A and B are shown apart, each in its own frame.
Chain A
Amino acid sequence: MRIELDFISVLAEWPMLMKGVAWTVGLTAVSTVLGLALGIGLAWSRVHGPLPLRAVAGSYVEAIRNTPFIVQLFFVYFGLPALGIRLSPELASIIAMVINLSAYATEIIRAGIEATPRGQIEAAMSLALKPGQIFTHVVLAPALQKVWPALVSQIIIVMLGSAVCGQISTEELSHAANLIQSRNFRAFEVFIIATLTYLMLAMALRRLLNWLGTRFLFGR
Chain B
Amino acid sequence: MDKLEPLLAIQGLRKSFGDNEVLKGIDLQVQAGEVIAIIGKSGSGKSTLLRCINGLETFQAGTLTVDHQALLHHDASAMRNLRQKVGMIFQSFNLFPHLRVGQNIMLAPGLVKQTDKITAETQAHKLLQRVGLGEKFDAWPDQLSGGQQQRVAIARALAMAPQILLCDEITSALDPELVGEVLRVVESLAEDGMTLLMVTHEMSFARKVADRVIFMHQGRVHESGTPEELFSHPQTAELVQFLSALH
The answer to whether any beta carbons of A and B sit under 8 Å apart in the complex is yes
Q: Which residues of A are at the interface with B, using a C-beta cutoff of 8 A?
A: 117, 119-120, 122-131, 133, 137-138, 141-142, 145, 218-220
> Nearest chain A CB to B49's CB is how many angstroms away?
15
Give a binary string over B95-117; 1 marks a CB under 8 Å from any A CB, 0 the rest.
11111100000011001100000
> Nearest chain B CB to A104's CB is how many angstroms away?
24
A127/B160 contact (C-beta < 8 A), A119-B90, A119-B92, A119-B94 known? yes
> Nearest chain A CB to B104's CB is how many angstroms away?
9
Residues of chain B with a CB closer than 8 A to A128's CB: 80-81, 83-84, 108, 112, 160
A130/B157 contact (C-beta < 8 A), A122-B90, A141-B98 known? no
| Contacting pair B80 A123 (CB below 8 A) | no
Is B88 engaged at the interface, CB distance under 8 Å to the other chain? Answer: yes
| Contacting pair B98 A126 (CB below 8 A) | no
Contact of A127 among B56, B81, B99, B108 (CB under 8 A): B108
Q: Which residues of B are at the interface with A, using a C-beta cutoff of 8 A?
A: 54-56, 76, 80-81, 83-84, 86-88, 90, 92, 94-100, 107-108, 111-112, 140, 153, 156-157, 160
Residues of chain A with a CB closer than 8 A to B83's CB: 125-128
The 10 closest A-B pairs by CB, nearest first: A123-B94, A127-B108, A128-B83, A126-B88, A119-B94, A141-B98, A128-B80, A128-B84, A128-B112, A133-B111
Residues of chain A with a CB closer than 8 A to B111's CB: 129-130, 133, 137
> Nearest chain A CB to B193's CB is how many angstroms away?
21
Q: How far is the CA of A218 from the CA of B54 in the complex (A)?
A: 31
A126/B140 contact (C-beta < 8 A), A141-B98, A142-B98 known? no
A218/B98 contact (C-beta < 8 A), A125-B56, A127-B108, A137-B107 known? yes
| Contacting pair A127 B107 (CB below 8 A) | yes
Q: Kindly report which residue of chain A lies nearest to residue B92, judged by CB atoms.
A: A119
| Contacting pair B56 A129 (CB below 8 A) | no
Q: A123-B96, A142-B96 are in contact. List 5 more A-B contacts (CB 8 A).
A: A127-B83, A127-B112, A127-B160, A130-B112, A131-B76
| Contacting pair A123 B140 (CB below 8 A) | no
Q: Kindly report which residue of chain A lies nearest to residue B156, judged by CB atoms.
A: A127
| Contacting pair A220 B107 (CB below 8 A) | no
Residues of chain B with a CB closer than 8 A to A127's CB: 83, 87, 107-108, 112, 156-157, 160
Q: How far is the CA of A129 from the CA of B95 in the complex (A)?
A: 15
Q: How far is the CA of A128 from the CA of B161 in the complex (A)?
A: 12
Contact of A122 among B81, B94, B96 (CB under 8 A): B94
